[in-house]
Amino acid sequence: MAVTHDEIVVVLSSLNCRTNFTIKKITEYMLPELKEPIYLQGSGKDCQLVIRPAYEIFLNELSSLEGVKYKAGYFHNSEMTRFPKRVQKSLNGIHYGLAFKFDDEMAIKRFIQQLLNIINGA
């Protein structure tokens, strides 16, 4: 069973991730004590966390965590302004990242901790 939007918000807050803005169905968060953005997209039970595409080389490491499911391909959204753009159908391109869904709150915590370990080189 997937976690809901509200449950993800509570977990991110408990991990000291701070929110910058919410536009439409996307919220930008910063990882604790870092200037590294992640995005929470969706509402209700249909939601996911999106990370920078540069972490694609760690995809196996992140998606092999218990309760973490990688959504194949890239997730595109024009509101993810801190992520790179990829020219797809428009001339200007659109921001993109890697999307993940979670089975439970512990999976979110494991995912954020692993992401922090990767960023900090631990």
For helices 105-120 and 5-14, angle between their N-to-C axes, nearest 10 degrees: 50
pLDDT value, residue 86: 83
Give the tens place of pLDDT for each residue, 61-108. 999 999 999 999 999 999 999 999 987 666 788 999 999 999 999 999
Q: What contacts 18, CB < 8 A, 6 or more positions away?
A: 29, 30, 32
Q: What CATH number does the domain located at 5-120 have? A: 3.90.1150.40
C-alpha span between 106 and 43 (Å, rounded): 19
Backbone angles phi, psi at 7, to 5 degrees: -65, -40
Give the tens place of pLDDT for each residue, 20-54. 899 989 999 999 989 899 999 998 888 999 999 99
Identity (one letter) of the amino acid at 13?
Answer: S
pLDDT value, residue 1: 67
pLDDT value, residue 15: 95
Least confident of 13-17, 73-77, 118-122: 118-122
pLDDT value, residue 110: 97
Tell me the C-alpha to C-alpha distance, in Å, between residue 31 and each of 39, 44, 72, 77, 82.
Answer: 10, 22, 23, 20, 13
Residue ranges covered by each domain of the chain? 5-120
pLDDT value, residue 87: 79
Give the tens place of pLDDT for each residue, 99-117. 999 999 999 999 999 999 9
